[in-house]
Structure 1
Amino acid sequence: MAEQISHLIFDVESVSDGDLISKVRYPGQNYTPEDAIATYQDELLELNGTTFIPHTFQIPVAVVIAKVAVDLSLVDIVSLDEPDFRPHVITKNFWRGWEAYKHPTWVTFNGRSFDIPIMELAAFRYGVAIPKWFQGEGYKAPRNRFNTMAHLDLQDVLTNFGAARCNGGLNLVAQLLGKPGKMDLNGEQVQKQFDDGNKKAISDYCRCDVLDTYFIFLRTKTLKGTITLEQEIQLVADAKVWIEERAEDCKAYQDYLAHWNDWLNPWQEDEASDPTPEAKSSTVAGNDKSDSAQELVK
C-alpha cells in the first residue's frame, strides 16, 4: 500500500437469500428457498414490472474495487475473496480495506440506494464492526447523503441528488463516453448465474461495471473542473494500456476491450474541419469574452 489511494470505486453483485424470504414473507408455508425466491419474483413482476428483489433480502456475492491514486490514475482492481466469494469474508474485507487505506472516498453509480446499504446491512448480518463509518453527526458524518467526500455517487452528480432521473442508468452514461456499458449479462441475470454455479462470471460482470464507473468518474471530474479534458483523455489512455497489459490473464478485460470505443472528441473534429487561422487559435473555453457572449445569444 505504498501508493496513496484517494478513491475506491466499487460495485456489488448480490443474490437473494431464499431462506430469509421464506421466513419473512411466507411464514408457515414451508417454501424451499428456491420456491420463495420464485414466488416473490412473480409478485414483484406483476406489481412493479421487474423481478428485482429488494436489497434487504440479498447478500453480496461479488464486490469488485478499483483503487485510484491521488492523481486519479488507476492503480489496481481487485475482486474480493476470489475465487471463494464468501459473503461474510467479502463484507469484512470491504470495510477493513477502507480502514487500511485511511478512509478514501467511496465512488459508486447509484450506490446511495443499493451498494452502500447492502454492504452496511451485510456488516450488520455478519457482525462486522465499522465504527469509523458511523462516527460523527450532521452533514460531516460519513453516512450523510450529501457528504461526497465520504461517498461520491456519480448518479447523484448527474441528477442533482435525484432532482432529475437518469433514464438508462450506468449503461447509457458509459456509452456516452464510448465505453461498453452492459454486454452479455445484466443485473437481473445474476441470480441465475449464481444458481448455476457461475460465480466467476458474476465477478467478471462486476469488474466491467467498475471499469465503466471509473471512466464516468473521470468525466465528472472534468465536468466539475477538477481536471482538464486533456488530462482526462490522458488518464483514459493510460487506463486502457493498464487493461491491455492484464488482458491475457483476464477474460473480463478481453471482453471489455473487444467492446471498447474511443470517445469522439468534437473539439478535435471542429479544428480538423475548419482550417482557418481563427479556428486554429481558438480554445474550448474561448479566449474572447465578447465572442463567447455573442455565441450565447445566437
Structure 2
Amino acid sequence: MTPMLVFDLETIPDVAGLRVLNGWGAEVPDADVAERAFAARREAVGHDFLPLHLQKIAVIGCVFRDDDGFRVRCIGKADDPEASLVSGFFKTIERYTPQLISWNGSGFDLPVLHYRGLIHGVQAARYWDMGEDDRDFRFSNYISRYHNRHCDLMDLLAKYNGRANAPLDELAKLCGFPGKLGMDGSQVWRAWQEGRADEVRAYCETDVVNTWLMFCRFRFMRGMLSRDQYDAEIALVRDTLQAIDQPHWREYLAAWPAAGAMR
C-alpha cells in the first residue's frame, strides 16, 4: 500500500510578523496586535480573515495510513515552535513519500506551509521535486494541481470549480459521519489565547479523521475499494478510535451511530 497522509492546519495570527510589518512594539499586547490587524482587514476587504502569509501554524493534524495500520495525531507538542511543526511535516514526506490528502489543502493549507517554511528556512526537497531529481515526479508531483500525489478532495469533487465547493462538515454529516464537534476554525484564536491548546489539537484531529472517512467514501465511489474493503477501512477507523481513551474520541464515536452507513 502506498502510504497516505491526511493533513489539516489550525492557524493563529502571526503576531510577530504583524509587529515587523507595522512597527508595533512590545508595549502593544498580542491580543491588541491581532485585533488591529483584524480591524484593518475588515476595513480593506470586509472580513477579518488574514492573508495566508500572516497565518501562523499552531497545529498540524495528521492521519497516516500504511501497511502498519491507521494512526491519527498532531505533529509535535502544543508548545513546540512553528518551525519544528513545519519541519516535522516535510520530514514525513521526505521519509515516506506519501500520497497527501486534504480538504482545501491547495487553497489554504499548502500555501500556508509554503510561506511558513520559507520564513523559517525549512528544507523540503522531496516535496518540491517536479522531476529534477526523480523522473517519476515529472508526471506525478505534489505541486501540480491535477496530479494525484496530492489529492485536494474538496477541489476534485467540485471539478476544480470554486463556486461548487462544499464544506467538509456538512458533506461529512450527509455521508453519515460525525463532522465537526464543539469548535470551528473561527474559534481557534480565542481558544489558543485562553490556553485551550489541547482542545484545538483535539478539534484538528477530528477534522483529519473526517477527511479520511470522506476519502474512503470517494475511493469506494471510484471503484478503488470494494464494498467489503470499504467496510473494513471504516471498521479500522472505528476500532482504532475506540482504543484511544480520550474525551474527544468518545464524543466523536457517540456522534457516529452507524459505521459509515450509506443511505
Q: What range describes the TM-score normalised by the shorter chain of this pair? A: 0.7 to 0.9
Q: CA–CA distance in 2 between the matches of 1:6 and 1:92?
A: 19
Among residues 57, 62, 65, which one is paired with 1:65 in the alignment?
A: 62
Q: Which residue of 1 aligns with 2:225?
A: 227
CA contact (8 A) 2:10 2:60 kept: yes
Superposed displacement of residue 148, structure 1: 1.6
Q: Which residue of 2 aligns with 1:295?
A: none
Q: What are the Cα deviations for residues 215-239 of structure 1, in whole angstroms up to 9, with x where unaligned?
A: 0010110121111233212211221
Superposed displacement of residue 65, structure 1: 1.1
Supply the AA of the counterpart residue of 1:123. G
1:104 and 2:98 are equivalent in the alignment: yes
Q: How many residues align?
A: 255
Q: Which residue of 2 aligns with 1:261?
A: 257
Supply the AA of the counterpart residue of 1:161. Y
Among residues 119, 134, 157, which one is paired with 2:113 in the alignment?
A: 119
Q: Report SS of the residue matched to 2:3.
A: strand
Q: What are the Cα deviations for residues 227-279 of structure 1, in whole angstroms up to 9, with x where unaligned?
A: 12332122112211111011x2x22211211221324434xxxxxxxxxxxxx
**Please, what TM-score do these two structures have when normalized by structure 1?**
0.78
1:55 and 2:62 are equivalent in the alignment: no
Q: In structure 2, do the counterparts of structure 1 residues 261 and 49 end up closer, same or farther at CA, with 3 Å as the change threshold?
A: farther
Supply the AA of the counterpart residue of 1:67. F
Q: Report SS of the residue matched to 2:243.
A: helix
Q: In structure 2, do the counterparts of structure 1 residues 235 and 33 end up closer, same or farther at CA, with 3 Å as the change threshold?
A: same
Q: Which residue of 2 aligns with 1:284?
A: none
CA contact (8 A) 1:66 1:74 kept: no
1:80 and 2:75 are equivalent in the alignment: yes
CA contact (8 A) 1:51 1:188 kept: no
Q: How does 1:263-282 map to 2 (within 5 A)?
A: 263-266=260-263
Compare CA radii of gyration and give the structure with the larger one: 1
Q: How does 1:103-182 map to 2 (within 5 A)?
A: 103-136=97-130, 140-149=140-149, 151-162=150-161, 164-167=163-166, 169-182=167-180
Q: What are the Cα deviations for residues 178-208 of structure 1, in whole angstroms up to 9, with x where unaligned?
A: 1121211110111111111111111100000
Question: Structure 2: any 5+ residue segments left out of the alignment?
Answer: 132-137
Q: In structure 2, do the counterparts of structure 1 residues 177 and 115 end up closer, same or farther at CA, with 3 Å as the change threshold?
A: same
**Which shows bigger deviation, 181-190 or 118-127?**
118-127
Superposed displacement of residue 89, structure 1: 1.1
Superposed displacement of residue 91, structure 1: 1.0
CA contact (8 A) 2:93 2:127 kept: no
CA contact (8 A) 2:154 2:165 kept: yes
Supply the AA of the counterpart residue of 2:81. R
Q: Which residue of 2 aligns with 1:20?
A: 17
Question: Structure 1: any 5+ residue segments left out of the alignment?
Answer: 267-298
Q: What are the Cα deviations for residues 71-107 of structure 1, in whole angstroms up to 9, with x where unaligned?
A: xx85211211124332111111111111111x11111
Q: CA–CA distance in 1 between the matches of 2:69 and 2:250?
A: 18
Q: CA–CA distance in 2 between the matches of 1:152 and 1:207?
A: 19
CA contact (8 A) 2:70 2:236 kept: no
Q: Report SS of the residue matched to 1:21.
A: helix
Q: Which residue of 2 aligns with 1:244?
A: 242
**Which of structure 1's runs of 4+ aligned residues deviate more than 6 A?**
none
Q: CA–CA distance in 2 between the matches of 1:49 and 1:174?
A: 29
Q: In structure 2, do the counterparts of structure 1 residues 48 and 255 end up closer, same or farther at CA, with 3 Å as the change threshold?
A: farther
CA contact (8 A) 2:104 2:153 kept: yes
CA contact (8 A) 2:4 2:100 kept: yes
* RMSD (Å), alpha carbons: 2.3
Q: Report SS of the residue matched to 2:179.
A: coil
Q: How does 1:8-47 map to 2 (within 5 A)?
A: 8-24=5-21, 26-27=22-23, 32-45=29-42
